[in-house]
Amino acid sequence: MTTVMHARRRVRATLALLLLATIVCAAAAKQPSHNRFIVVCDDENDHPGAGNACRRAAVRGQGVIVNDALPGHRAFAAEFPGSPTAAAKVAENLMKAQGNGVRRVEPDGVHWLIEDDLEEGIDADTPPLRSRKLLEQHRRNLAQTMPPGVPMADVDPSLWPVAAGGKKVCIIDSGYMLSHVDLPGTETTTGSANGGAGVWYEDTMGHGTHVAGTVAAVHNDQGVVGVAPSVGLHIVRVFDAQRWAYSSSLVAALTECLTTGGAQIVSMSLGRSSYSSWEDAQFTSLAEEYGALFVAAAGNGGSSAYHWPASYPSVVSVGSVTASEVRSSFSQYNDRVELAAHGSSVLSTYKNGGYARMSGTSMATPHVSGVAALVWNRHPTCTSVEIRTALQMSARDKGPAGYDNEYGWGIVQGGAAIDLISACGCDVVECPGNSTPAPPTEAPPTQAPPTEAPPTEAPPTEAPPTEAPPTEAPPTQAPPTEAPPTQPPTELVDVQFGVTGPIAIPDNDRRGARSSAVNNLPAGYTSCSVESLTVAVDVTHASINHVILVLEHQNGAWVRLINKRGGSGDNMVGTVFDDGASRSIRKGRAPFTGSYVPEMELATFVGLDAEGTWTLVAQDRRRGTTGTLDSWTVDMTMECS
């Protein structure tokens, strides 16, 4: 077998507002524009006509709208003339102007196809005769190889039939070699191109084809086999030979995955080194709206630096391990890494019908995406949040006990996750005997999926129905002195209960600090249900963006109040969570005081039994600082009879 060497050149491109990235490309490769910005418009519901006004303002600033494919995100990409400094000034003035419908302007940052090492391969770069001989030898000798990452992920052939369920994987990458004998055809695979990258069913680079093979290479007694060989795929091509794509193109591709593509799992072996608040918000919004699971590569810098989109809270960040199950030297290690999978010297499908060994977190990511598809198709009524939590809690621990920055929760385990849900139900956190109870890392979707996407079959979170008594007419022979039955009278009763600390919140421990209070029935009543409630909390913590607070009901219902918000500020003082508040905790800055809409609706508890034990869980999910839960109080209105 020969080793294919590719000449590479590193080019450093500096974007407006100090956006930096390192790429691998040819010397004559097209470079990203320094003058391209995302213009975010005001909400039409708050300011009718804001969208049109926003566009007119950009055009008056001599902007050229280059990507208007973001209507659901109240945004578009525009390019401004002149030097990068002049363009940045135009963008700044556009944002400062009043009454033009513009909410915010930020650089349209660039995502790079993560650079991965091609160790050996059979492709067009190999001399034709030698390539054909190698390919035939490869197929003859393999007769179908199961790459080591498949059994490492606790996947065996008995699980493959379940992959054919309705949960699809969307791969955003460099395309897909549809003609490859070892990849699914159009009977289970669809696709589209985004941003002029070319047709989805070709792949001149091989990266997307390699990723797709790890997810779904078919079980056909030749070549290789994927983690979930029967799973449906949707391919969105955003990369061409230049290896980069704009942030606006990525968000448009993500939307394409969930709408036209009908996928529930999105796999992204790409990233950038700079944070985007707009992009973060779009990922969060789409995950919640469509009930989707996003999976992305943690990065190949071999450092603790964050990499996006992997480090957004709505995304599962995947690190890489070797065949010996130790962290790959190139794999990022930080407190956003969630799961690990095989990513060193991974054999998979490649361009022009060949095969190749590649290394990178790009190669680890599709292992997790494929496992997620297996688990979710076996348990389709679970939500994306429940699947994500099950993958965390079933992962095989590596490194220090519990969570750590190198492996996250450990190496992803498909069979163990399936068994965990089979034994416990979708809500694995509440499973009896679970030694590390913790709420999921993301809030479940609050909206039903749109009609153009397949249903996600999430279980309803509504309060139990309160049945009205039958309205049948009384029998005609009833004694005239008897009155028809009536409902027992009900009254609204206000109560207050909680706990006063301080209670230490353990550092970087998902079990957190748990404190409980009992709400007893008032004298003279036999039952009370929740009519409404608010929750007041006081937390002392130097880094409030490390903190998650969850209120739990004794029957298993729970509501996340805050999920690592507040920027770099500290403390929560007299903070009240109220569904009717005028501002959301998601957009707040610490220190938090006053009333905020929580991450999830407190109305989740309406109609449940009010009496019994209520528990507040306070977690610190990042290392470095500690704090205390000083007090919490529930103010509740109950309907009692």
CATH of the domain at 539: 2.60.120.260
Q: What is the length of the chain?
A: 641
The H or E element spanning position 237 is: strand 233-237
Among the listed residues 582, 129, 154, the one whose alpha carbon sits nearest the alpha carbon of residue 340: 154
Q: Is 146 found in the same domain as 78?
A: no
The H or E element spanning position 375 is: helix 361-378
**407 or 47: which leads in pLDDT:** 407
Among the listed residues 316, 284, 319, 325, the one whose alpha carbon sits nearest the alpha carbon of residue 304: 319
d(CA 273, CA 282): 18
Could you say which DSSP state residue 185 is in?
A: -
Cβ-based neighbours of 73, under 8 Å, separated by 6 or more: 40, 251, 255, 282, 285
Do 100 and 53 form a contact (C-beta atoms < 8 A)?
yes
**Would the pLDDT of 20 be above 80?**
no
Rg of the chain (C-alpha set) = 27
Q: Is 425 found in the same domain as 364?
A: yes
Q: Is 80 found in the same domain as 65?
A: yes
Q: Is 60 found in the same domain as 157?
A: no
Q: Is 400 found in the same domain as 501?
A: no
Q: What is the pLDDT of residue 13?
A: 30
Residues forming a β-bridge with 224: 145
Indicate left, alpha or beta for 154 from its phi (over 0: left) and psi (-120 to 50: alpha): left
Structure tokens at 497: 């209960």
**Would the pLDDT of 603 be above 70?**
yes
448 φ/ψ angles, rounded to the nearest 5 degrees: -75, 150
Any domain includes 121: yes
Of the segments 18-27, 49-58, 136-145, which one has the largest average pLDDT value?
49-58
d(CA 530, CA 471): 26
d(CA 347, CA 363): 9
Any domain includes 486: no
Q: Is 568 found in the same domain as 503?
A: yes
Number of Cβ within 10 Å of residue 392's Cβ equals 24
User: Per-residue DSSP letters for 285-332?
Assistant: HHHHHHT-EEEEE--SSSSS---BTTTSTTEEEEEEE-TTSSB-TTS-
Q: What is the pLDDT of residue 103?
A: 83
Given 123, 173, 182, 578, the catalytic residue: 173
Domain count, the chain: 3
Please name the residue that has the structure tokens 């009901």: 553
Cβ-based neighbours of 368, under 8 Å, separated by 6 or more: 153, 295, 316, 318, 339, 341, 391, 412
**Would the pLDDT of 466 be above 50?**
no
Among the listed residues 237, 254, 268, 238, the one whose alpha carbon sits nearest the alpha carbon of residue 114: 268
Given 73, 180, 207, 210, the catalytic residue: 207
Dump pLDDT digits (tens) for 226-253: 999 989 999 999 988 778 888 999 999 9
Q: Is 245 found in the same domain as 362?
A: yes
Among the listed residues 521, 380, 510, the one whose alpha carbon sits nearest the alpha carbon of residue 441: 510
Q: What is the pLDDT of residue 124?
A: 37
Any domain includes 9: no
608 φ/ψ angles, rounded to the nearest 5 degrees: -80, 160
Any domain includes 499: yes
Cβ-based neighbours of 84, under 8 Å, separated by 6 or more: 15, 16, 34, 35
Report, as an integer, the average pLDDT of 396-407. Answer: 93
d(CA 185, CA 342): 26
Any domain includes 482: no
**471 or 336: which leads in pLDDT:** 336
Among the listed residues 231, 196, 234, 204, the one whose alpha carbon sits nearest the alpha carbon of residue 216: 231
Tell me which of 57, 78, 108 is where a domain ends. 108
**Would the pLDDT of 484 be above 60?**
no
Any domain includes 26: no
Q: What is the pLDDT of residue 79?
A: 86
d(CA 234, CA 169): 6
Tell me which of 76, 108, 140 is where a domain ends. 108
Does the pTM of the predicted model rise above 0.85?
Answer: no
**Would the pLDDT of 487 be above 50?**
no
Any domain includes 133: yes
User: Cis ω on the peptide bond leading into residue 309 (within 30° of 0)?
Assistant: yes
Q: Is 405 found in the same domain as 258?
A: yes
94 by DSSP, 3-state: which? helix
**Would the pLDDT of 335 be above 70?**
yes
- Residue 207 a catalytic site member: yes
Q: Is 264 found in the same domain as 290?
A: yes
Structure tokens at 3: 């080793």
**Would the pLDDT of 295 be above 90?**
yes
**Would the pLDDT of 149 be above 50?**
yes
Q: Is 426 found in the same domain as 534?
A: no
Average pLDDT value for the chain = 80
Could you say which DSSP state residue 374 is in?
A: H
Structure tokens at 523: 């004298």
d(CA 290, CA 268): 17
Q: Is 147 found in the same domain as 81?
A: no
Q: What is the pLDDT of residue 337?
A: 97
Any domain includes 128: yes
Let me know the angle formed at the C-alpha of 599 by 593 and 601, rounded to the nearest 5 degrees.
105
Tell me which of 108, 137, 158 is where a domain ends. 108
CATH of the domain at 214: 3.40.50.200
Given 174, 247, 331, 362, the catalytic residue: 362
CATH of the domain at 63: 3.30.70.80
Range(s) of the domain holding residue 273: 113-430
Dump pLDDT digits (tens) for 529-588: 898 999 999 999 988 888 889 898 877 777 889 888 877 778 899 999 998 888 888 878
Q: Is 187 found in the same domain as 125?
A: yes
User: Per-residue DSSP letters for 262-293?
Assistant: --SEEEE-EEBSS--HHHHHHHHHHHHHHT-E
